[in-house]
Amino acid sequence: MTGVLPEFTKDWQQPWSPVFLEWTVTCSALPDIKDWTFTDSASYQWKGTGTPKDPAIITGRTPLIPLLEFLTQGRVDQHGQKDNPQWADLTTSQEDQLSVALQEIDDHLTGRAPTPNLAPTGTNATDTAVHKLLGRGPYPPIPTEDPVFSTIRAAQFHFTHLDVVDRFGHAFNLINEQTYTQRLITTAPTMTPPGDKTATGVPSRLGVQLPPALTQGARLLFNFVSTINDARTISPDTDTLDDVTPICGWIIPNRLSSPPSLLVYDPHGHALGEIRPTSRPWAPYPNQLTGATGLDEQNPHLKAFIEGLTRRTDHPQAIASLTNAINTILPSIAPPRDGTPQHLSPLLGRPLALLRTSLSLQLNGPRLDQATPTSLTTPHTTPSPESWPVKLGSPDLTTDGLIGYFTPDHDKLHTVTNPTNTDSSYLAPIDPNEITLPATPSTAPSTPTYVTLLADPQATIHAYTGILPPTALRLPPRLLSPALNTLTPLLAHGTFLATQTGTTLTAACPANTTWAWKELDPDHPNTWLTLPITKPTPITDLTQTHPEARTGYLTITQNGSNRE
């Protein structure tokens, strides 16, 4: 007999419902941070050096939960709501995805005992009530020998037994002592031992790596600070640009000059001068022209940036390398999608900002060195002896706006990509171990590391530690708008050909932009004239007139009036 069975007449099968995982691992602790290297991907890899702790056998029974599917769907929903509306109705796979947390391994490496071992011995009413409730014993003894503990949790392990147990008590064996060498565990790159570098007792290609992590709560503080006082932390939510600012200055790549140059502005958007790869690298603008006060002690980091670049013996090559790096990195940074005007970008480049920031690693409470009753009652108030690297920026993330940073001085810019076509030592790729921070107790004064960033201020800058979630820093629009609305390019010209009719010039200028000309008034010294420029037409063709060579500055106007 052939045919198709009617609907709902298919043979029923009991669904498999796994409940928990029973497992055994052999684990070797690797607690010395000097035996680990912090890589460009902001993750840790074991060097294969040092002496691992003696292997320990750890067993556990862990419930299986659908946490992975829940978290994945949550991130998809979050991405759809904030960034891509077309993702709003997207759902993740409905296949069963179960996960577990092997907490017993962390308990072993951090010296935590899963059972209580301190009996209440006091005579007050509370202790007596607790003692009656818990009974008089027996309690496990407090360990007298040194526990297997370190302020750093790091290890390698491999499974020797693995069972999946369902709701009816049936066990499905995946790994046992006879087959564990034949079972390969798929691991994330950060949890895969490098090559054949496995600890004692961990077979090659079978190991799972636990990269270093702190054994107590911590956070990375990544803050803006004042340009004139590093000790003054700036709150993006409350501080205003008139009160205090982290913006040291503005840099605009000038693609119209040959060779390319850099236009420099103060924190409020007033033009200061131009950096050129010539024998006279710094060309300041007249103060009467721009209204800026020039470089002074109120702007130490912008002054250090200009002097660190222009006073080098190889300044032509250094300036050319910097402009080339900016023009290479900037296109990989996604422009803002909030409607911010981009009228300067096609002609020159997006404005970049020099931002003053601080970095510090803070523990949640005092520092604990050993998990013993003595250390819990006498915690440390000094920073940790080991330091943790911090990597700034991500060239693979289009929303990260970092170009490079200076620390501790301004004679070398560390860029997010490897500089190419450079003949100067002014640029260097970011070394992930360049910035290191000690873990400071929250009860002690912090000792931040101060960094000057060169970045797209309308994008986010990320900081990575490998032991904490990435920390993001971004300027709020209210700190950006006043300066962005003031920024106006001033392009120096020594032989600008134009024909003057009254107070208007006729000259050839780049299209789709309204231009004006600034020049000294011959009848009034120290006074600058602003003359609007009209483009030639068939009636006012330059070939039918007698243009004159003029010396001054080209600038952009908006709505027919000068923006200054």
Q: Which residue has the higher pLDDT, 482 or 226?
A: 226
pLDDT at 519: 82
- Confidence (pLDDT) at 412: 93
CA–CA dist 164, 173 (Å, integer):
6
Residue 138: what pLDDT?
A: 53
Question: Looking at residue 449, what is its pLDDT?
Answer: 95
Residue 129 pLDDT exceeds 90: no
Which range has the worst mean pLDDT, 70-74, 285-289, 487-491, 546-550? 285-289
Distance of CA 184 to the CA centre of its chain: 34
Residue 102: enclosing H or E segment and its boundaries?
none
**Residue 137, number of CB atoms within 10 A of its CB:** 8
Neighbours of 270 (CB within 10 A): 22
* Closest by Cα among 11, 15, 45 to 30: 45
Residues 6+ apart with CB under 8 A from 165: 18, 19, 20, 21, 22, 171, 172
Distance in angstroms (rounded) separating the CA atoms of residues 467 and 455: 25
Backbone angles phi, psi at 250, to 5 degrees: -125, 145
Q: What is the pTM of this model?
A: 0.82
Whole-angstrom distance, CA of residue 309 vs CA of residue 325:
14
Token code pair at residue 239: 């501080």
Query: Taking a C-beta distance cutoff of 8 angstroms, is the pair 363, 217 a contact?
Result: yes
Say if residues 388 and 436 touch (Cβ distance below 8 Å): yes
Report pLDDT for 72. Answer: 78
- Is it the case that residue 28 has pLDDT exceeding 60? yes
Q: Extract the tokens encoding 440.
A: 């400071």
Q: What is the pLDDT of residue 147?
A: 53
Under the banding of pLDDT at 50, 70 and 90, the label for residue 377 is low
Question: Where do runs of H (alpha helix) occur along 330-408?
Answer: 373-377
> Average pLDDT in the 16-23 region?
90
User: What value does the mean pLDDT take over residues 382-392?
Assistant: 87
SS3 349: coil
Average pLDDT of the residues of the chain: 80
Question: Alpha-carbon distance 268 to 286, whole Å?
Answer: 17
3 state SS for 205-269: CCCEEEEEEECCCEEEEEEEECCCCCCCEECCCCCCCCCCCCEEEEEEEECCCCCCEEEEECCCC
% the chain with pLDDT above 70: 77
Question: How far apart, in whole angstroms, are the C-alpha atoms of residue 105 and residue 211?
Answer: 13
**How many percent of the chain have pLDDT more than 90?**
26
| DSSP SS3 for 427 | strand
Q: How far apart are alpha carbons 244 and 247 in whole angstroms? A: 9
Distance separating the N- and C-terminal Cα atoms of the chain: 91
Find the angle CA(387)-CA(369)-CA(119) to the nearest 5 degrees: 155
Average pLDDT value for residue range 210-237: 88
Summarised one tens digit per residue, pLDDT across range 295-348 is 666 788 999 999 999 999 999 999 999 999 998 999 899 887 655 555 555 567
User: How high is the pLDDT of residue 454?
Assistant: 97
Q: Which of 47-51, 162-166, 181-185, 216-220 has the lowest mean pLDDT?
A: 181-185
> What HEC string does 119-179 produce?
CCCCCCHHHHHHHHHHCCCCCCCCCCCCCCCCCEEEEEEEEEEEEEEECCCCEEEEECCCC
395 versus 423: the higher-pLDDT residue is: 395
- Provide the H-helix boundaries in 219-372: 287-290, 300-310, 315-329
Highest mean pLDDT among 164-173, 176-185, 515-524: 164-173
In angstroms, the CA 247 to CA 268 distance is: 9
Q: Which residue has the higher pLDDT, 108 or 112?
A: 108
What is the DSSP code string of 523-553?
A: TSTT-EEEEEEE---STT-GGGS--EEEEEE
Task: Find where tokens 């299209």 sit.
Answer: 511
* Least confident span in 110-114, 131-135, 371-375, 470-474: 371-375
Q: How confident is the model at residue 559 (pLDDT cuts 50, 70, 90)?
A: very low
Output phi, psi for 467, to 5 deg. Answer: -120, -10
Q: How many helices (H) and strands (E) does the chain have?
A: 8, 28
Q: The dihedral of CA 135, 136, 137, 142: what is its sign?
A: positive
Neighbour tally for 447: CB within 10 Å: 10
pLDDT at 557 (0 to 100): 74
Highest mean pLDDT of the ranges 59-63, 134-138, 175-179, 377-381: 59-63
Could you tell me which residues are beta bridge partners of residue 520? Answer: 528
pLDDT of residue 544: 56
DSSP state of 330: G
**155-172 pLDDT, tens digit each:** 999 899 999 999 888 899
Q: 88 is written with which tokens?
A: 């709003």
Mean pLDDT of 133-151: 55
pLDDT of amino acid 218: 92
pLDDT confidence of residue 325: 92
Range of lowest pLDDT (128-142, 172-186, 423-437): 128-142
Distances (CA, A) of 66 to 13, 79, 187: 22, 21, 19
More confident of the two residues 13 and 377: 13
> pLDDT digits over 487-520, tens only?
888 887 777 878 787 778 888 776 667 888 888 8
Buried b (16+ CB within 10 A) or exposed e, 181-208: eeeebeeeeeeebeeebbbebbeeebbb
Query: What's residue 339's pLDDT?
Result: 52
How much is the pLDDT for 479?
79
Q: How confident is the model at residue 90 (pLDDT cuts 50, 70, 90)?
A: low
Contact by Cβ (8 Å): 399, 460: yes
Is the pLDDT assigned to residue 417 strictly greater than 60?
Answer: yes
